[in-house]
Structure 1
């Protein structure tokens, strides 16, 4: 457990500090939230205005569901500092539907019907929870961090492998500069300088990038100042094959989100009960249904923001609820989101590499409490090895049927499924 929390789940930091801390979560999440609609819009060659509809709706619904997860409505919402966003787990199924005659309406209709898998599944989470002993939970949490490291490395290097500016000395120096600032502030900073280390480090990196002429404001200039949400903009259709594909993606997301909830519990010093699982998964399912109606893709809990909690010791759900409010504003005022997206990738990478590594550290600490037996060692080794195989070499799945690629496309999912399976079939010593 994280024994050095500056603010616990129920704490209310002063508003000015809470706003700064909420912006810190926003900076970590917004790139991932808009990435999925941008990928779908670009690959399907949608008109610019349609892609903007997908992006605005993603930000707006992310904010709404984040607030529900943090604050809770009745028996909906995990009531922990969980940031919600569009999930890459659904991209493969979405593109397959999008390239068919069903189009974007088919993607959203399939997602709406298939969200029942998560909504109904949430009521069985108390039974599912017993399959997650410490050897499984620690392995899954560790795999979450390991799966995110390649994302942080690409940010650190300034793009994707093959880009002409990938890993240039300038990009690496900027990322190291931001990373150094964050480390100094976390280790030796006091008060606000410690708990807001990530946003301060990124702000200094952004100002430095601005002085160097690295910041591209073209997206800001092209963005609308205000945009009204457009429910059912693409209509809805319900192809059977699309519903099946999306249902599989939702099953995978249940496994991933269960791991994220466990990591969140570790970061916030909270024992995750079956009711936490039920409420959290239900909120995700209902949020994904709302996303389909509001014209964007399905949702899950963001693991990168768990790293911020582990690093800063700020577990207040009040703070993350403010992040949700900021996301709603970003959905209504696209220029706000465009300004955030203008942050150069090396600046994000300098902070991201340590945030995601903190999740790995949390997983290692959880595994420290596991009995050191040959059986447990096999479970940990094979699960992490299999998850990393898919993460580092996704080409392994290229020649498999689309169904299997959908199921095993995520290293987190592969690691979690292997840990769950081995824990059931290997005999106790």
Structure 2
């Protein structure tokens, strides 16, 4: 739970900050995300009919949807994010029946680009957090803000590098907790939200309502396609960690749970969910691969979602603390993408695919005003650097012809083990 918690709460915080939502709405998003993640984790681990892979998987809100969610939310608000997520989840539900064909659209060059773009798109968010944010009264880039962010970052690095077991796995959450205590001692935290928040509350389905903009559904559908491929890689790594053979039907059950779970999460006012790769690392680290143990993680997340006061505490975390932890978290996503790209065959064709797609994705990320003169439909679909990078990579992979590779004597002597790509994904996880 600790390994997943940082990622689960980060998504509603990023989206809420980008849309400038009031604190009480961000609290509702956080609790909905915890509740939805918990319930879908239990279903994924235990299985309900054809839904659920029945392996130790922790589900949580995914960063792959952040870019599309912000783009949709800026134009239509939170109801459109949830409505688009619900409608587009059909892509994943139906796609679970056609995984071999969909997987061909996303070779490792494309997957590596997508993972890298997710990290690159989120780093500016962490930088703004570290500087103190743009809220009224905040001093952007003040020495105090940067000092706290640096302190948290160094703490997380030390815990990752020198910690063992659960300390290393939960380094981000522990680092945030230490930074939080530092800010409490400095008198930087206002506990008004915590005092006003109810201790216990039942879930509120359709709390924000729903709208279904066509452009938003298209943008979310693309994000779902990307997530399907990421989740497949995570399942393959999980199979290696648990000595389980990943057959087509097994993968289909897991992908189907992602789709059905995201639809359920949308009804519960939560962003979409997907399988968390970092928890595969926890399975390898601890040697505990019981799906029943991991299902208890789902129970704990579910219970956490029933206590709004916990979400209120999360909202009081100062932005520099989030920035120090977020910089580490998002940079690790970049690292995972780079590791995937490093195992891609070094050809001129693959080089063009990676360079152009990352360049186009960064163009939208760094200069979002680039699309300001285009129709609203185009801005919503292509407003996310992750979406642009993924679409350009898939298009180039389909259009550019593959040329046969001439092997040298050295190439013939050195054989690449068939597990090379699987190993890279496992290391990334």
| Pair 1:140 & 2:114 matched | yes
Residue matched to 1:62: 37
Mark the CA change 1:393 to 1:75 in structure 2 (over 3 Å): closer, same or farther: farther
| Pair 1:387 & 2:366 matched | no
Residue matched to 1:10: none
Give runs of aligned pairs for residues 277-292 of structure 1, distance below 5 A.
278-292=252-266
User: Retained in 2: the 8 A contact 1:156–1:172?
Assistant: yes
TM-score (norm 1): 0.77
Mark the CA change 1:289 to 1:310 in structure 2 (over 3 Å): closer, same or farther: closer
CA distance in 2, matches of 1:347, 1:52: 18
Mark the CA change 1:170 to 1:40 in structure 2 (over 3 Å): closer, same or farther: closer
CA displacement at 1:313 relative to structure 2? 6.7
CA distance in 2, matches of 1:52, 1:184: 30
Q: Secondary structure at the match of 1:216?
A: coil
- Any stretches of 5+ residues in structure 2 without a counterpart? 404-429
CA-to-aligned-CA distance 1:219-273 (integer Å, 9 cap, x gap): 111111111223355677xx7xx35344313312223313532664687566987
Residue matched to 2:176: 202
For the aligned residue pairs, the C-alpha RMSD in angstroms reads 3.7
CA-to-aligned-CA distance 1:152-185 (integer Å, 9 cap, x gap): 2222222249973222111111111111122222
CA displacement at 1:278 relative to structure 2? 3.6
CA displacement at 1:50 relative to structure 2? 7.8
Residue matched to 1:216: 190
User: Retained in 2: the 8 A contact 1:375–1:426?
Assistant: yes
Residue matched to 1:402: 376
CA distance in 2, matches of 1:110, 1:138: 26
User: Retained in 2: the 8 A contact 1:307–1:359?
Assistant: no
Residue matched to 2:5: 26
CA-to-aligned-CA distance 1:251-309 (integer Å, 9 cap, x gap): 12223313532664687566987657644442233223323443x2551438xx64687
User: Retained in 1: the 8 A contact 2:149–2:323?
Assistant: yes
Mark the CA change 1:119 to 1:41 in structure 2 (over 3 Å): closer, same or farther: farther
Mark the CA change 1:245 to 1:70 in structure 2 (over 3 Å): closer, same or farther: farther
User: Retained in 2: the 8 A contact 1:256–1:412?
Assistant: no
User: Retained in 1: the 8 A contact 2:14–2:125?
Assistant: no
Deviates more, 1:330-339 or 1:85-94: 85-94
CA distance in 1, matches of 2:365, 2:248: 29
Mark the CA change 1:230 to 1:187 in structure 2 (over 3 Å): closer, same or farther: closer
Report how many residues are paired: 392
CA displacement at 1:386 relative to structure 2? 0.9
CA displacement at 1:41 relative to structure 2? 9.0
CA distance in 2, matches of 1:427, 1:122: 28
Residue matched to 2:423: none
| Pair 1:75 & 2:45 matched | no
Residue matched to 1:258: 228
Mark the CA change 1:400 to 1:262 in structure 2 (over 3 Å): closer, same or farther: farther
Deviates more, 1:316-325 or 1:212-221: 316-325
| Pair 1:339 & 2:313 matched | yes
CA distance in 2, matches of 1:122, 1:266: 15
Q: Secondary structure at the match of 1:123?
A: coil
User: Retained in 2: the 8 A contact 1:33–1:59?
Assistant: no
- Any stretches of 5+ residues in structure 1 without a counterpart? 1-21
Give runs of aligned pairs for residues 77-156 of structure 1, distance below 5 A.
77=52, 79=55, 81-85=57-61, 87-88=65-66, 89-93=68-72, 104=79, 112-156=86-130
CA distance in 2, matches of 1:116, 1:71: 22
| Pair 1:249 & 2:219 matched | yes
CA displacement at 1:146 relative to structure 2? 1.6
CA-to-aligned-CA distance 1:31-79 (integer Å, 9 cap, x gap): 4236547877949xxxx98887666444422321233345543432454
CA distance in 1, matches of 2:143, 2:17: 29
Give runs of aligned pairs for residues 178-197 of structure 1, distance below 5 A.
178-197=152-171
